[in-house]
Structure 1
């Protein structure tokens, strides 16, 4: 009987959608997938999810990467740079110590749909007691000084796809009917963004260099207040809030990408939910702003390390 991994490999060979990627791009893709497969267990050990919680999508991607590399260079690890895994953004084990925040978050008995804001204690206390939130322009996050969990170009989504093209006859020659097509989808304007997590794992406190978390138990009431405060502070801007969609730049349809709410799948472990305020007219440069929505003791609580 054929195994799942054999089926995934056979499926890929029937549709080798990674064949246009350069070897370095395949290696980067492998690191992104390893980052999402790897998790910390409750004891702080590096592990993977199994059974019904298994991240099947990422295991399929991993199998497809190996199949493409094998086509080019032979069995694993042929084709990969020696030690390439060291460059992956894999969560660091804490064993024998428990993951940071495990016990703190467990105390709140989290429910589906809650939102979480990880930050420093002084900022989280300001959020809780006064409802003060910093909103930064999307361009702020494209800064090399930011850590890898935060840094991203929020104004552009890029990728490369393999596509079949209609042959075009020029000077007696027929062009190839296939090829690599690189694309770049840009936001029409800079905009303000305020980000939250819609779930938590055993890595957020470290990834976001946080020692506290605002746990928002009434997300609809909260986002209504937040969006309204932003629209009052920012005349000429429209506010929206929803979950981020994590896209595979090799497999998605560029014509359907909403850059304001789209991110590369390598960030999927963050489970981001965001509020944005976009100007009706295009603006390139925006200053950091602070919104005040009032005390949140009725809909939230604070947990600290």
Structure 2
């Protein structure tokens, strides 16, 4: 099942699933401003905001996108956290990703797709500040060791709900060696 990223913002989801996928927060320290008695401050990059808990909290957003998520490793905790009673083991991730991309391109021929592991960030660190949120998550989720396929259809093509795509073997992807083996 392929899901719009906004799906994961539902409060009814489990703690392991609930996340604002299309945004990330960065916490700029503003301790000097707090000591000076100010309630607002400006960051070195020019962002201005209200000080909360000693930080200026800046939210970086990207447009909604479609994603499919998996774990890079088998973890004992994952079935419980995601209420799963089965697992899909992908032995050739490169072949799977290629087939997945082909399935999406049948729907949206010019869709842009980004595949890869998620990087986990600390909101008080700015290492990932200039990266789009699609492959970033709060470090509280680091145990998930996530790998994802993200697609960026146009706004008019963005689905309103989760949907299935057909992934089929074709001669081209079967004959190519998988770099991930």
TM-score range, shorter chain: 0.7 to 0.9
Report the alpha carbon displacement of residue 283 of structure 1 after superposing the two structures with TM.
Answer: 7.0
Q: Under a length normalisation based on structure 1, what TM-score does the superposition of the two structures give?
A: 0.45
Q: Who is 2:25 aligned against?
A: 158
Equivalences, count: 153
Of residues 123, 136, 152, the one that matches 2:3 is 136
> Which residue pairs with 1:288 in the alignment?
162
- Provide the C-alpha distance between the structure 2 equivalents of 1:253 and 1:176, rounded to a whole number of angstroms: 19
| Cα distance in structure 2, aligned partners of 1:194 and 1:159 | 25
Aligned mates of 1:146, 1:152 — CA distance in 2: 9
Query: Where do residues 200-279 of structure 1 align in structure 2 (5 Å cutoff)?
Result: 200-253=74-127, 255-279=129-153
Aligned-partner Cα distance in 1 for 2:75–2:22: 27
User: Alignment partner of 1:287: what SS?
Assistant: coil
Deviation track 1:261-287 (CA, whole Å, cap 9, x = no partner) reads 110000000000000110255877633
Q: 1:236 to 1:176 in 2, by over 3 A?
A: closer
Shift of 1:258: 1.8
Q: C-alpha distance in 2, partners of 1:177/1:192? A: 32
Query: Quick one: distance in 1 between partners of 2:117 and 2:56?
Result: 29
Higher relative contact order (CA 8 A, sep 6+): 2
Label 1:177 to 1:242 Cα distance change in 2 as closer, same or farther (>3 A): closer
Deviations 1:188-230 (A, max 9, x none): x211000000012221111111111111111111111111211
**TM-score calculated relative to the size of structure 2:** 0.74
Alpha-carbon offset, residue 160 of structure 1: 1.4
Report the Cα offset of residue 236 of structure 1.
4.2
| 1:84-124 CA-partner distances (Å, limit 9, x unpaired) | xxxxxxxxxxxxxxxxxxxxxxxxxxxxxxxxxxxxxxxxx
Structure 1: 5+ residue stretches without partners:
1-133, 166-174, 299-305
Larger Rg belongs to: 1
Q: Which has the higher helix share?
A: 1
> Relative to 1, partners in 2 of residues 1:160 and 1:145: Cα closer, same or farther, differing over 3 Å?
same
Change (3 A) 1:159 1:291: same
Contact 1:135-1:193 at 8 Å conserved across structures: yes
Q: 2:36 matched to which residue of 1?
A: none
Q: 1:149 maps to which residue?
A: 16
Give the match for residue 181 of structure 1. 56
- Quick one: which of 63, 66, 90 aligns to 1:192? 66
SS of 2:105's partner is helix
Q: Deviations over 1:151-172 (max 9, x none)?
A: 111011113121699xxxxxxx
- Secondary structure in structure 1 of the residue aligned to 2:11: coil
Question: 1:181, CA displacement in angstroms?
Answer: 2.2
Computed over aligned residues only, the root mean square deviation of the Cα atoms, in angstroms, reads 2.8
Q: Go from structure 1 to structure 2 and tell me whether the alpha carbon gap of 1:200 and 1:176 turns closer, same or farther (over 3 Å shift).
A: closer
